[in-house]
Amino acid sequence: MSTRFRPTTLTGHELELREQVRRFVAEEFPAGEYLPGLGINAEASPEFSRKLARQGWLGMVVPAEYGGPGRTAVERFVVVEELLVAGAPISAHWVGDRQTAPALLKFGSEEQKRRFLPAIIGGEAWFCLGMSEPGSGSDLASVRTSAVRTDGGWVLNGQKIWTSGAHYADFVVTLCRTAPLDGVKHAGLSQLIVDLRSPGIEVRPIMMLNGFHHFNEVFFTDVFVPDEMVLGAVGDGWHQVTSELAYERSGPDRFLTSFPLLRIFLALRARRAVGAEAEHRIGRLVARYWVLRQMSLSVARSLDAGEVPAVEAALVKDMGTTFEQQVVDVVRELADAEQRPGGDLFDRLLAEATITTPTFTLRGGTNEVLRQVAAKSLLRGAGRAA
């Protein structure tokens, strides 16, 4: 097996959509009047998310049958790319739009689709993901949170950590063990849609060094989850999660998070004479942005073709999040070398990026784990070819 990143470009229709989004962004965030955020680290603004909903830009892949616009993964890519470049406050709707809606379409019951998809599309319900646990890192198959059968549903007990947005989300899609561990860690896992207002749930904040609140610990103590809130089939959790990760790992959010910092830095130095070395370093960043963009866009095309490009998505996430950290390092070094007054906005974004960039290579699976995923797949393909 080899990875496949097919060359692709935006169609005329997709370019027209991009212009529509750019006009919307320019009106919402006038130059010099808006403090941009850094990707999904930007603030949660339900009000802004509902504005996107009114434009038809939430739940874009949801078909008309469930109240959605029935657009493509590439069209969603176009919208998301422009929002990330602007540093828009996207966190409130992010998980529901990126991951929960496609998962419901693929695995959800008819009742779940009718209930949740219109709420996601309309910006009326927020979701988060309960995957990582203390001590398990990116090894999702080792989760210990468990659900035991009871009359009419399940009793959930356990703990999740690094749960982004749990402090404002309505529901957490939780990976848990519904059958005893019996040799194969991947077996016996299921996904439950858990109402965060249920009795027995405690959400504790994990504060960043700058006081920013994005991550949380979530504790489940004898939480009742009705049968109709099982996502997909009982025991198929591992297959479902790995399928979803193609959406989580491959989008432009994996390489554009630190872009607003670079954009503001370039604006500050636009009229200053700079050395050849600085120009060379910036040029290399721009070239790598373009390569990663092409890789991510290729994955979106594959998703539209009904494929599950898990390895390609893992590579985008690995290379993209590593690059995002490198962007911050280069900008900091150039700013120091030029001894240039930064200004409040630049200094704030640089400080925030310095604190948050270490998390980029952890979310959605550590890069070390993703390299193992890619290597195992490539080795299996080489073995079959031999």
CA distances from 27 to 14, 266, 267 (A): 20, 22, 20
Q: What is the pLDDT of residue 291?
A: 96
Position 360 scores a pLDDT of: 73
- Contact between 97 and 58 under an 8 Å Cβ cutoff? The reply is yes
Indicate the residue type of 363.
R
Which CATH superfamily hosts domain 240-385? Butyryl-CoA Dehydrogenase, subunit A, domain 3 (1.20.140.10)
Q: Mean pLDDT lowest for which of 26-30, 120-124, 141-145?
A: 141-145
The residue ranking higher by pLDDT, 242 or 126, is 126
Q: What is the mean pLDDT of residues 26-34?
A: 83
**How crowded is the C-beta side of 324, counted as CA atoms within 13 Å?**
29
Strand-pair partners of 195: 171
Q: Per-residue confidence at 340, pLDDT binned at 50, 70, 90?
A: low
| pLDDT band (50, 70, 90) for residue 103 | very high
> What's the per-residue H, E or C state across the chain?
CCCCCCCCCCCHHHHHHHHHHHHHHHHHCCCCCCCCCCHHHCCECHHHHHHHHHHCCCCCCCCHHHCCCCCCHHHHHHHHHHHHHHCCCEHHHHHHHHHHHHHHHHHCCHHHHHHHHHHHHCCCCCEEEECCCCCCCCCHHHCCCEEEEECCEEEEEEEECCCCCCCCCCEEEEEEECCCCCCCCCCCEEEEEEECCCCCEEEEEEECCCCCEEEEEEEEEEEEEEHHHEECCCCEHHHHHHHHHHHHHHCHHHCCCCHHHHHHHHHHCCCCCCCHHHHHHHHHHHHHHHHHHHHHHHHHHHHHCCCCCHHHHHHHHHHHHHHHHHHHHHHHHHHHHHCCCCCHHHHHHHHHHHHHHHHHCCCCCCHHHHHHHHHHHHHHHHHHHC
Domain spans of the chain? 12-126, 129-235, 240-385
More confidently predicted of 281 and 368: 281
Catalytic residue among 81, 82, 244, 248: 248
176, 134 Cβ separation under 8 angstroms: no
Taking residues 19-31, what's their average pLDDT? 93
pLDDT of 371 above 80: no
**pLDDT of amino acid 366:** 66
Confidence of residue 373 (pLDDT cuts 50, 70, 90): low
Say whether pLDDT at 20 is over 50. yes
pLDDT tens by residue, 190-207:
999 999 999 999 999 999
- Is 124's pLDDT higher than 90? yes
- pLDDT reported for residue 208: 82
User: Which residues contact residue 150 at a Cβ distance below 8 angstroms, ignoring those fewer than 6 apart?
Assistant: 224
Q: How many CA atoms lie within 13 A of 276 on its CB side?
A: 0
Rounded to the nearest integer, the mean pLDDT of the chain is 88
Question: How much is the pLDDT for 272?
Answer: 64
Q: Does the pLDDT of residue 1 top 50, yes or no?
A: no
What CATH topology corresponds to 129-235?
Butyryl-CoA Dehydrogenase, subunit A; domain 2 (2.40.110)
Bigger pLDDT: 274 vs 180: 180
248 is catalytic: yes
For domain 12-126, the CATH superfamily is Acyl-CoA dehydrogenase/oxidase, N-terminal domain (1.10.540.10)
pLDDT at 382 over 60: no
pLDDT of residue 163: 94
pLDDT, residue 40, reads 84
A 10 A CB-CB count for 122 gives 15
* Band of pLDDT at residue 209, cut at 50, 70 and 90: confident
- pLDDT 10s digits, 240-276: 987 766 666 778 999 999 999 999 888 887 656 667 8
Beta-carbon contacts of 201 under 8 Å, excluding residues fewer than 6 positions away, are 194, 218, 219, 220, 221, 223
pLDDT tens profile 286-308 = 999 999 999 999 999 998 998 87
Closest CA to 231 of 220, 247, 219, 244: 244
